[in-house]
Chains A and B, each alone.
Chain A
Amino acid sequence: MTMREKIEEAAVRYPDRRSAIMPALLIAQKEHGHLPGPVLEEVADILGVERIWVYELATFYTHFHTEPIGMFHLQLCDNVSCMLRRSEDLLRHMEDVLGIKKGGTTPDGLFTLSTVECLGACEMAPVMQVGDDYHGDLDVARIDALLNSLRATAGRVVGVEPASIRPSGE
């Protein structure tokens, strides 16, 4: 299905096409990796809604990226339950081994490192989301193993457009 078809399919679920902006942005982001201006305009055109409505949502919700991010987005939870299980040690460790600070992307474009609010999986704190997958009960050894397996995944799929890669589970 093309992006337009997917968006049209989402739009029929609502009596008002404006409601489909959020689903459309999620579809567009999956397609393009991030949401630069021309993509936002395309979404507005497909749905036939005001461009400003689309811009408003793309900037309000934290899952929408108007700037490019790495192939793997490492989203470590540092909210209270994860903090109590020492997520900050894991952040420091990842900053060290990746050579970037939180918010940064590795020069090879492989990893973007962020901290996020509660992922709703506090029973397995500390938790990190990478792409569609949750990784819980983390410690330094598990983080190292995870980073290595992500690197290996990236190696296997060289040549594929980075943004369309999902590390596992699909």
Chain B
Amino acid sequence: MFDPVLLRNIGDPDSRLLSTYEAGGGYRALAKVLHEHSPDEVIDLVKASNLRGRGGAGFPTGMKWSFVPKRNDKPKYLCCNADEGEPGTFKDRIIMERDPHQLIEGLAISAYAIGAETAYVYVRGEYVMAIRHLEHAIAEAHEKGYLGRKVLSSDFNFAIHIHCGAGAYICGEETAMLESLEGKRAQPRLKPPFPAVAGLYASPTVINNVETLVCVPHIIMRGPDWFRDIGPDKSPGPKLYCLSGQVRKPGLYELPMGIPLRELVEDYAGGALPGRKIKAVIPGGVSAPLIPERGLDVGMDFDSLAAVGSMLGSAGVIVIDDSTCMVKVATRIIEFFHHESCGKCTPCREGLDWAVKVLHRVEAGQGAPDDLDQLKALCKGIFGNTFCALGDGAAMGLRAALQHFEPEFVAHIEERRCPFH
């Protein structure tokens, strides 16, 4: 049995309060770090744990922190990515609503490690309850001296500000988030320079996902070996999996990295709905290529999923059963990316517009014989040619649907109707 760590408090009705968090050992990691470790030692501990970012790309967190230049006159910033816009994903919301102090402690330790005195938490505007609970927790932490000037009588000063998003998925992309924080339209920036060198207000900046940051206090208290002993060597640790769609027990599950997708879906989430069979699963939010049922014996970690042509992404696992039309699913996914395209680069802006039009006519039974070739050509034209990874995510999602479910697309075109209606 795996004992939850990140979700250990959420069953408690008062889980969001400072008193509950402290009773469970909360803020001890912060005290330990401030009194026993130098910032570099904290970075080394996180490096030794092999923690990889939980926001999608799986970049090693300790390494990211070590890129921040030590000697630099400019203030340094920590940004928490709590934009959570990837369809199928809701893990960060649950952490912020139910255990906001865990995030605050993670932010404080991480800021100390990189030498930042200010953190911005960029939360999507829809998450009103998360924002309220986080605000309340920040006030509580301030009062107790976990935030503010001379935190716990050390030399560390630290402030956290919440910045509300206003409904644009692209704000989750780290450089677009910085633009948005600077009061501009959220459009990605050209890299390099990387944010670690010139990020927010051209200052050294680290951007980390909520779940990444909440792993940090546990690594400090239990040690990097504990973390590395969970799941595969190259992407270890406890992991939050979001289960939704046509499955019996949708919800948030904390299990080791690398757990087989089939076990997650069938044992933990209860399998297909009554009388139905699973047809495909999207393992990591809609930009992660879907996996047909026969491929479910794959480990849920960065490398295993990459090896089968998909990705862990945000670990938003969406289950699709045999009652569902895959053309419809693919169309909805591309509609999403089309709607959210920031418009900065042509392959994404124009390519997705075109793809949506072709998909709509195929779905409606008005597809032309060469529409599949057109869609494939569009994927090719978009993938690898866009300014940011949004375009790639869209192309990968569509390509996987075409690859694994081509007969359904063909049937729509040949029968001139949707076989599912």
B-contacting residues of A (Cβ < 8 Å)?
13-23, 25-26, 49, 53, 56-57, 60-64, 78-81, 83-85, 116-125, 129, 132-134, 169
Contacts and interface: CB of A to CB of B under 8 A. Distances in A.
Contact of B126 (A15, A53, A83, A129): A129
Nearest to A122: B244
Contacts of B161: 13-14
A122 B90 contact: yes
Contact of B86 (A16, A84, A118): A118
B414 interface: no
Contacts of A116: 167
Contacts, number: 140
A161 to B, nearest CB: 21
Contact of A62 (B90, B167, B180, B282): B167
A120 B166 contact: no
Interface string B170-199: 000000000011111110000000000000
Interface of A is mostly: mixed
B166 A25 contact: yes
A111 to B, nearest CB: 19
Contacts of B389: none
Given A117-B169, A121-B90, A81 B183 contact: no
B85 A57 contact: no
CB-based closest 7 A-B pairs: A61-B166, A122-B244, A18-B183, A118-B87, A62-B167, A63-B166, A81-B244
B251 interface: yes
Nearest to B171: A61
A121 B93 contact: yes
A60 B339 CA distance: 12
B180 A81 contact: no
B320 A84 contact: yes
Interface in B331-348: 332-333, 336, 339-340
Contacts of B10: none
Contacts of B336: 79-80, 117-118
Interface of B: 75, 84-90, 92-93, 124-129, 161, 163-169, 180-186, 201, 242-246, 250-252, 282, 286, 316, 318-320, 324, 328-329, 332-333, 336, 339-340
Contacts of B339: 117
Nearest to A13: B161
Given A123-B251, A125-B250, 11 more contacts: A13-B161, A21-B183, A22-B163, A26-B164, A26-B166, A79-B87, A79-B336, A81-B244, A84-B329, A118-B86, A119-B126
B88 A20 contact: no
A79 to B, nearest CB: 4
13 contacts: A23-B163, A25-B166, A49-B183, A62-B168, A63-B167, A79-B87, A84-B246, A84-B329, A85-B245, A117-B339, A120-B89, A121-B90, A125-B244
A118 B245 contact: no
A118 B340 CA distance: 11
A78 B166 CA distance: 18
Contacts of B129: 132, 134
Contacts of A63: 125, 166-167
